[in-house]
Amino acid sequence: MGTLTIAAAQFAPGDDPAANLDTIRTFAEQAAERGAQLLVTPEYSSYCTADIDDRFVAAAQPLDGSFVTGLQRIARDAGLALVVGVAETSDDPARFRNTLVVVRSDGTLDSTYRKVHLYDAFGARESDRIDAGDPEQVAVFELDGVRVGLETCYDLRFPEVTRRLAAPEHGAADVVVLPAEWVRGPGKEHHWRTLLTARAIENTVWVVGAGQTPPIGVGGSVVLDPSGVAVAAVGATPGLLVATIDTDTTAAVRSVNPSLSLRRYAVVPATDPVT
């Protein structure tokens, strides 16, 4: 059993990677002052515009580029780990990868997660510019004895993603962190909070949603406990929320609601979309 104090930074990244790094540094310093061991920032924290077009492709960087090395310096200076959404270069010069990077407090690049479900919905077409991640990924890393699972934005609409992260035979995550750029629109705030809550309840797992603020995103970053109760939340303005993940709470919830152990179905990745 263990605890992990997690901070989520909610802001609107722009098209200047250096300015975005400065914003992350400020949030990292604030998070460290509040005792956080891990800071999570939104999807596309390295670069963001309203449209995913050739500018996004041009702004993408390799994992040894200036943005990730900047994150490594921030992690070392602040003394905490980071999960940050970045635009990563692809092998295809006309495309990029939507990637989460995990940076340890010593500046080590620990692992990555590349978004599996691309946002080809609500009038958007991420797949026109982005390479989808491998559906076999089960992106979980351990920090101070707590297992942290990773997914990104539109993945939230596919419950099997979180199930694989939380299931003991797969990721056995204690908490799932979900950076997002949840685009504004009719009912979208309701979708965001409802789906985050559902993933927490059905998997009896902690969930941290870290979103972008307007003008593109809805905000609404939140930390939910394994029974779906919000223990920390912010509205639509930039800000930092901090909460402590406690696996004793998880054990208590699962003793009453053993839904993971009572499952009758497995989750098997599909290499192609199921139609």
Q: How far is CA 91 from CA 60, 65, 96, 251, in A?
A: 12, 15, 8, 43
* Pairwise CA distance, residues 92 & 114, whole Å: 15
Active site residue 181: no
State the Cα–Cα distance between residues 81 and 5, nearest whole angstrom: 11
**What stretch of H or E contains 109?**
strand 109-114
Q: Is 188 a catalytic residue?
A: no
Q: Domains along the chain?
A: 3-250 (3.60.110.10)
From the candidates 43, 126, 151, 181, give the one annotated as an active-site residue: 43
Active site (annotated) includes residue 153: yes
Helical ranges in the chain per DSSP H:
17-33, 54-59, 66-78, 159-166, 188-203, 247-256
* Marked catalytic residue, from 88, 115, 126, 181: 115
Structure tokens at 181: 């750029």
Backbone angles phi, psi at 94, to 5 degrees: -95, 5
**With contact defined as beta carbons under 8 Å apart, do 85 and 42 qualify?**
yes
Give the list of residues 6+ apart from residue 146 with CB closer than 8 angstroms, or none.
Answer: 2, 3, 4, 174, 175, 245, 247
Q: Is the pTM of this model over 0.95?
A: yes
Contact call for residues 155 and 181 (beta carbons, < 8 A) = no
* Per-residue pLDDT in tens (0 to 9) along the chain, 275 residues: 799 999 999 999 999 999 999 999 999 999 999 999 999 999 999 999 999 999 999 999 999 999 999 999 999 999 999 999 999 999 999 999 999 999 999 999 999 999 999 999 999 999 999 999 999 999 999 999 999 999 999 999 999 999 999 999 999 999 999 999 999 999 999 999 999 999 999 999 999 999 999 999 999 999 999 999 999 999 999 999 999 999 999 999 999 999 999 999 988 887 777 65
- Indicate which residue of 48, 88, 153, 181 is catalytic: 153
Q: What single DSSP character describes residue 198? A: H
In the chain, what is the straight-line distance between the N-terminal and C-terminal CA atoms, in Å? 41
